[in-house]
Amino acid sequence: MDPHTERLRKKYMDDPPEGISSEDIRHMSEDDLLDMDYFLNEDVEFDDEFGEEGFYLF
């Protein structure tokens, strides 16, 4: 396993997101764990690009 993925697994097992148990995280695949991390942190990366309403095409 990738050391980065294992660090993420430990991080989320120590402080699991709401609605997910440490046991759930222990049994997640690497892809599921990386997906969860991406979606939990995606707003941080894009905070300054779009307003509160989101992105709209007119």
22 lies in some domain: yes
53 lies in some domain: no
How confident is the model at residue 55, as a pLDDT? 59
How confident is the model at residue 2, as a pLDDT? 85
16 lies in some domain: yes
What are the DSSP calls for 2-57, one per residue? -HHHHHHHHHHHHSPPTT--HHHHHT--HHHHHHHHHHHHHHHHHTTTSBTTB---
Q: Which two tokens stand for residue 13?
A: 């097992």
In this prediction the pTM is 0.67
Q: What are the pLDDT digits (tens) for 10-27?
A: 999 999 999 999 999 999
Rounded CA-CA distance 25/37 in Å is 11
Domain that holds residue 21: 3-46
Count of domains forming the chain: 1
How far the first Cα of the chain sits from its last, in Å, is 45
